[in-house]
C-alpha cells in the first residue's frame, strides 16, 4: 500500500467516515467522470512529482536545469490561469503558487484536459493532476485520489450526495 494512500485515508477518509451517523448515513460518495458544464465546482491542480524532480536537480547540482524548470512551471501556471479566465471571466482563481492552483468556476472535461496539456507542454517533462468537487474539501479529496494513482496525471471528481 502506498504511503500516499495511507496518508489520504488517515487524513481525509477516516475522519469523514468517523462523522457518519445513522442520521446522515444516506450520504453517498460519488466519483463523477467529468464535471457538469453548467455547474460550479472547485478545481484543485497540483504538479506530479515536481518536488522529486527539483530535489534531484538540487542534489545533482544542475543549477541551470533547476532555473529552467522553475521558470517553466511559473509560465505554465500563468498560461493555465489565462486559459481558465478565457473560458469564463467569472472563473475565480483562488490561489496560484508553486505548482498548485485552486479554482472556483465552470470548466468542462475538455477544458481540464487542455489545462493538463498546457502544463505538460510548457514544463516539457512534468505532468499535473486535477481534482474537482462541489466544495473545496471534495476537490482536495479528489486531488488526493488522482495523485494516489501510480501514473498520476489524472482527473478525478468527488462529492457527497445528501
| pLDDT tens per residue, range 59-90 | 989 889 999 999 999 999 999 999 999 999 99
Domains of the chain, start order: 28-161 (3.30.70.270)
Coil, helix or strand at residue 68: helix
DSSP strand pairing (41-47 vs 28-30) = unpaired
Taking residues 127-154, what's their average pLDDT? 90
Q: Is the dihedral of CA 42, 48, 50, 55 positive or negative?
A: positive
Residue-wise pLDDT for 19-56, tens only, equals 544 344 344 455 556 666 678 999 999 999 888 888 88
Q: Is the dihedral of CA 82, 158, 130, 117 positive or negative?
A: negative
Taking residues 120-144, what's their average pLDDT? 92
Alpha helices in 60-129, H assignment, sequence order: 63-87, 109-123
Sequence-ordered list of residues with C-beta below 8 angstroms from that of 10, at least 6 positions apart, any chain: none
Tell me what the pLDDT averaged over the chain comes to. 82
The structure's pTM equals 0.78
Q: From 82, 125, 75, select the one nearest 103 (Cα to Cα).
A: 82
pLDDT for the residue 38 = 76
Q: From 162, 111, 154, select the one nearest 135 (Cα to Cα).
A: 162
Point out which residues pair with 156 in neighbouring strands. Answer: 131
Q: Which three cell numbers stand for residue 113?
A: 484536459
pLDDT for the residue 151 = 84
pLDDT for the residue 28 = 42
Specify the DSSP class assigned to residue 91. -
Amino acid at each position: 500500500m502506498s504511503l500516499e494512500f495511507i496518508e489520504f485515508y488517515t487524513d481525509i477518509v477516516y475522519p469523514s467516515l468517523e462523522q457518519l451517523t445513522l442520521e446522515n448515513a444516506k450520504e453517498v460518495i460519488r466519483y463523477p467522470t467529468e464535471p457538469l458544464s453548467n455547474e460550479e465546482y472547485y478545481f484543485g491542480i497540483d504538479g506530479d512529482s515536481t518536488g522529486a524532480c527539483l530535489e534531484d536537480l538540487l542534489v545533482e547540482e544542475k543549477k541551470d536545469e533547476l532555473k529552467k524548470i522553475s521558470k517553466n512551471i511559473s509560465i505554465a501556471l500563468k498560461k493555465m490561469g489565462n486559459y481558465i479566465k478565457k473560458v469564463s471571466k467569472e472563473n475565480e482563481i483562488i490561489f496560484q503558487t508553486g505548482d498548485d492552483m485552486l479554482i472556483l468556476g465552470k470548466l468542462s472535461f475538455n477544458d481540464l484536459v487542455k489545462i493538463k496539456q498546457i502544463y505538460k507542454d510548457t514544463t516539457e517533462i512534468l505532468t499535473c493532476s486535477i481534482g474537482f468537487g462541489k466544495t473545496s474539501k471534495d476537490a482536495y479529496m479528489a486531488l488526493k485520489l488522482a495523485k494516489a494513482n501510480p501514473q498520476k496525471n489524472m482527473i478525478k471528481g468527488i462529492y457527497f450526495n445528501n
